[in-house]
Amino acid sequence: QATRVGVAVVDTFVWQSLASVAIPGFTINRICAASLALLGALTRWPLPLRRWTTTALGLATIPLIITPIDRTVDLLMDSSLRKLYGAPGEPPAP
């Protein structure tokens, strides 16, 4: 029982770290950097307006990236870490 709980804790921690922190943070950062560069190249807007627009675009992408990132992290974990302790999506056998 303690082993199952430990595995569940580690699985949840790794999944949350990837799907809720690392990958979305990196993705939104790159979207913001690209949009700021594009706005700088394509418009003559003042810098504060470009930055606010970049922030709005970054926030607007969040609903669009959630599902693809979640599914990708599931596939990544199913093909790596979860192979160590059982079938994908299932807790380890007692």
Does 91 map to a domain?
Answer: no
- pLDDT, residue 1, reads 79
pLDDT along the chain (94 residues), means of 10: 88 96 98 98 98 98 97 95 74 51
> How many angstroms separate the Cα of 37 from the Cα of each of 11, 25, 42, 51, 67?
37, 18, 9, 10, 27
Does 93 map to a domain?
Answer: no
- pLDDT, residue 42, reads 98
Does 92 map to a domain?
Answer: no
Does 72 map to a domain?
Answer: yes
Domain span at 62: 1-82
Say how far apart CA 54 and CA 26 lie, in whole Å. Answer: 15
- pLDDT, residue 33, reads 98
- pLDDT, residue 2, reads 87
If one counts the domains in the chain, the total is: 1
- pLDDT, residue 38, reads 98
Does 88 map to a domain?
Answer: no
DSSP summary character for residue 20: I
